[in-house]
Amino acid sequence: MKKILTVFGTRPEAIKLAPVLLELQKYPEVESVICVTAQHREMLDQVLNLFGLKPNIDLNLMRPNQSLGDVTAKVVHEMERVLELEHPDVVIIQGDTTTVMATAIAAFYKKIAVAHVEAGLRSGDLFSPYPEEMNRRVVSMVASYHFAPTKRAVDNLMKEGISEDRIFLTGNTVIDALKLIVTRPAPEEVKRILGLVGCDGTCSSKKLILVTAHRRENFGDRFENICRALRSIVENNPDVVLVYPVHLNPNVRQPVEKILKGAERILLIEPVSYDVLAHLMQKSYMILTDSGGIQEEAPALGKPVLVMREETERPEGIEAGTARLVGTDEKNIIGEAERLLYDKKLYDSMAKAVNPYGDGHAAKRIVDVLRRNI
C-alpha cells in the first residue's frame, strides 16, 4: 500500500486540498494521512468541518505574533519528525504559504517526493506578494510533481528548466471545491447577513459588493487607501451595500474599524466559513479583493472581480477579462468600481468571460497522476 501525506496550515490550503483528499478516499489501495500545522487555527477548523475531514496529525503551531522565521523553523523541525514517523511515498502541499515552503524543505532533506498543487504561479517580483513569491519558487526547486492550474503556469515552470514530464496541467482545485459547496443549500447565516443590509433572497433590490482584503503587502497606507475608497463607493451610490468579513489580523482590523465602522450600508462581520463566503459571492454584484483564491473562484460564478493589488500572480483572469487589476490608489478603486456599477456592457463582458482556471475536475487529474507514478 502506498502512503500519501498531505500537509497544510491555512484555510485557503485546506479549501484547495479538500477535493484532492476526498478523491483519495475513493481508493483503498492508497493510505491517505492528513497533517495540519494550524498556521490559521480557527479558520482552518471551519474548513475541515465543512468538508468532513479529520487530521491524523495536528501540530497546532499557531502562536501570537510569530515572525516568518519562527513559523519556518517550527514547521521544518516538526515536519522532519512527522516524516520520520510516517515514511510517506509522497508529500502533497498546495500553494505558497510558509507552511508549504517549510514542508517542502523538510521533505527534501528526507529525500521524499513532493507533489505541489497549484504550481507555477509567478508575479515576477520576489517581494510581492511577500513572502509567497519566494515560497513558491523554493517549492518548485524541490518538487517532483508540479500540478499547474493554467497553461501560463506550465510555461513559467518550463522557463525555469523544470522537466516537461514532471509538469501536469490540471486546472485549479478551488473550482472543484466551489462547485461542491454552491450546489448545497445556502446556510441560514447567509440569509441573516443579507437581511442586515436590506437584501432579499436574490439581492435584486440592491447591488451587493463583497470585499475581502488582508494582504501583508497592503498593510499600512495602502490599506487605509482601500478603506477610504470602499467608504466613498458606498456613500456615492445609494443602491450599493457592502459586506466585508474582516480578517483577524490587527493590521487589517485597525484601519477597517477606524475608517469603516459605523458607516451606513457597510456591514463589517467576523470571518465567515467557506460555505457562507461562497454563497455570498454567488449573491454579490461584484467582488473587491486582494485575495488570490477569489480571483479564481468568482469567475466560476460569473462575478466581476476588482483586484486591489499592484500586481498579481494570476494574470490569466486579467487577460481573460474576468478580473481587473486596480491597485491600491483610492481614486482608481472608486473609478473602476463605479464603471462596473453603471457600464452594463463592461459588466456583462466580465461576468460572461470564460473562467481560465478550470472545469471542476482538477482533483481527479491530480490523484490519477499520483496513482500512476508512486
Distance CA 280, CA 195 (A): 12
**Catalytic: which of 13, 23, 78, 132?**
132
Same domain for 367 and 247, yes or no, is no
pLDDT at 39 over 90: no
- Are 152 and 12 within one domain? yes
To the query of whether residue 216 is one of the catalytic residues in this protein, the response is yes
Give me the pLDDT at residue 197, please. Answer: 93
Choice among 40, 152, 247, 309 that is catalytic: 247
Helix, coil or strand: residue 226: helix
Active site residue 214: yes
Q: Quote the number of domains for the chain.
A: 2
Average pLDDT, the chain: 94
Catalytic one among 13, 23, 96, 310? Answer: 96
DSSP secondary structure code for residue 270 in this structure: -
- CA proximity to 130, closest of 160, 98, 153: 98
The domain in which residue 219 lies consists of 188-351
Domain CATH number, residue 146 = 3.40.50.2000
Task: Indicate if 346 and 363 belong to the same structural domain.
Answer: no
| Of residues 245, 242, 214, 216, the one with CA closest to residue 229 | 242
In angstroms, the CA 349 to CA 331 distance is 23
Considering the domain architecture, whether residues 30 and 166 belong to the same structural domain is answered as: yes
Same domain, 114 and 195: no
Q: How confident is the model at residue 231 (pLDDT cuts 50, 70, 90)?
A: very high
pLDDT band at 248 (very low <50, low <70, confident <90, very high): confident
Whether residues 106 and 38 share a domain: the answer is yes
- Is 96 labeled as catalytic in the residue annotation? yes
* Residue of 319, 290, 302 lying closest to 229 (CA atoms): 290
Say whether 125 is catalytic.
no
- Same domain membership, residue 347 and residue 367: no
pLDDT at residue number 42:
77
Could you confirm whether 164 is annotated as catalytic?
A: no
The pTM of this model reads 0.85
Q: What's residue 43's pLDDT?
A: 78
DSSP conformation letters of 127-156: TBSTTHHHHHHHHHHH-SEEEESSHHHHHH
C-alpha span between 94 and 299 (Å, rounded): 21
pLDDT digits (tens, 9 = 90+) for 52-105: 999 999 999 888 888 999 999 999 999 999 999 999 999 999 999 999 999 999
Residue 276: pLDDT band by 50, 70, 90 thresholds?
very high
Banded model confidence at residue 340, pLDDT cuts 50, 70, 90:
very high
Task: Please pick, among 58, 86, 216, 253, the residue that the annotation labels catalytic.
Answer: 216
Domain contains 179: no
- 64, part of any domain: yes
Q: Do 141 and 230 fall into the same domain?
A: no
Are 164 and 192 within one domain? no
Distance separating alpha carbons of residues 197 and 176, to the nearest angstrom: 30
Same-domain pairing of 161 and 34: yes
> Based on the domain organization, do 269 and 153 belong to the same domain?
no
Catalytic residue among 214, 215, 222, 365: 214
